[in-house]
Amino acid sequence: MSTTPDDPMQQPPQDSTVPQDNGAPQPGQQQPQYAQPAYGQPQYAQPQYAQPQYAQPYGTGPSMAPTGPRPETAKNWMNITSLVLAIIGLFTWVTAIGGVILGHMGRSAARKGEADNGGFGLAGLIISYVVLVLGVAGIIALIAFFGWLGSECGGDNPADWCTSSNTSIEIQAVGRPAGLTA
pLDDT digit string (tens) for 49-66? 776 666 655 655 555 555
Domain contains 172: no
Residue 100 included in any domain: yes
pTM of whole model > 0.75? no
According to the per-residue pLDDT averaged within each range, which of 71-80, 94-103, 157-166, 167-176 is highest?
Answer: 94-103
Q: Mean pLDDT over residues 13-26, rounded?
A: 58
Residues 162, 153 contacting (CB under 8 angstroms) = yes
Residues 89, 93, 94, 97: is their CA dihedral positive or negative? positive
The 10s digit of each residue's pLDDT in 108-130 is 999 998 998 999 999 999 999 99
Q: Which of 37-46, 101-110, 112-121 has the lowest mean pLDDT?
A: 37-46
The percent of residues in the chain predicted with pLDDT above 90, rounded, is 35
**What pLDDT is attached to residue 149?**
84
Does residue 75 fall inside a structural domain? yes
CB 126 within 8 A of CB 90: no
pLDDT at 141 over 80: yes
In a domain, 140, yes or no: yes
Residue 143 lies inside a defined structural domain of this protein: yes
DSSP 8-state code for residue 150: H
Tell me, yes or no, whether 109 lies in a domain: yes
Q: What is the mean pLDDT of the chain?
A: 76
Percent of the chain with pLDDT over 70: 52
Residue 131, in any domain of the structure:
yes
Distance (Å, rounded) from C-alpha 163 to C-alpha 182? 37
pLDDT tops 60 at residue 177: no
Residue 141 in 3-state DSSP?
helix
Total number of domains constituting the chain: 1
Residue 46: pLDDT over 90: no
Q: What is the span of the domain harbouring residue 77?
A: 71-150
Side-chain-side CA neighbours of 72 within 13 Å: the count stands at 5
What is the average per-residue pLDDT within 76-89? 95
